[in-house]
Amino acid sequence: MFNIFQDAGEVEKAFMRHRARNLFSLLILLAAVLIASYGVMVWRDVKGILEQEKLQIVVSGEGKVTAKPDVARVTATILTEKESLQEAQAENSRKSQAVTEYLKRQGVAEKDIRTTGYNISPQYSYPSPCPPYGVCPLEERRPKIIGYQVRNSYEITIRDLAKAGAVLAGVVSAGANEVYGISFTIDDPDALKAEARKAAIAEAREKAKVLASDLGMRIGRVANFSEGGSFPPPVFFGREMALDGKGGGGDFEPSVQPGENEIIVIVSVTYEFK
């Protein structure tokens, strides 16, 4: 048999044996790395399949919280009409100032008196139609401005509901022509929403526990979660409860009842069963 060491000296033989051992070790290490890498890939595939095969159950829960509104909001309008625009604006400004001063005396903060609209509208006189087959000069057929209407509207937030009726009547006496769109709402519903959400999650978890027990399993981690709900709009009172300063309103105090609001949170929770 051919021997690669037959013509080499002892030193050269030892060196070549050392290199052969190193090469062999490197090949073993490379093979081990390849096997390990393949094993990791296989394990990932198996783990993914196992996770896909885990039983998942979707349950829902509903939480309700009932609370009385703590804020009333109302729209008040000051409307003035004059032949001169300057006169209409001046009178409107005077009445608007009287309304805001009255509100401040009643404890309504400046930040709770918000202008929502300021409109100037020319008032026209429209001529009678021309008689049949008659001739009307062009100037007589044109509408004419006979005055101006100025409308200034405020949204008023009343935080002391015990004063709501008196404030509604008082703004009319102070100069507002119209008071309408009365609504009752909860100023900061976040805490109530959190309370309703907590109740909804507890109900969903209890449903999941019952299902797991019936199936002879236990609930595991939460795989998915979503939330919805019904947050009721403010309670409005329409025109039938409006106060109109043109009819001499402000001599009586209307009775207002805020009632109650219900906040509902609905959750959907996906549990893994094991």
Residue for token pair 């978890």? 205
pLDDT at residue 53, as a whole number: 59
- Three-state DSSP class for 253? coil
Count the Cβ atoms, other than its own, within 10 Å of residue 127.
12
193 versus 55: the higher-pLDDT residue is 193
- Model pLDDT, residue 258: 76
Q: Can you tell me the distance from the alpha carbon of 37 to that of 33, in angstroms, rounded to the nearest whole number?
A: 6
* pLDDT score recorded for residue 115: 95
Read off the pLDDT of each residue in 6-25 and give the average, rounded to a whole number. 64
The arithmetic mean of pLDDT across residues 146-154, rounded, is 95
- Whole-number pLDDT of residue 215: 87
pLDDT confidence tier of residue 1, bands split at 50, 70 and 90: very low
* Domain-wise residue ranges, the chain: 10-41, 56-67+190-231+267-273, 71-187+236-256
Q: What pTM, to 2 d.p., does this model score?
A: 0.61
Q: Are 149 and 79 in contact (CB under 8 A)?
A: yes
CA distance 75 to 28: 86
Residue 140 pLDDT greater than 90, yes or no: no
Least confident of 81-90, 95-104, 111-120, 229-238: 229-238
pLDDT of residue 248: 43
Average model confidence (pLDDT) across the chain: 80
**% of the chain residues with pLDDT over 90:** 43
- Of the listed ranges 179-183, 207-211, 235-239, the least confidently predicted one is 235-239
Eight-class DSSP state of 265: E
Q: Fold for 71-187+236-256, please state it.
A: Alpha-Beta Plaits (3.30.70)
Q: What confidence score (pLDDT) does residue 35 get?
A: 66
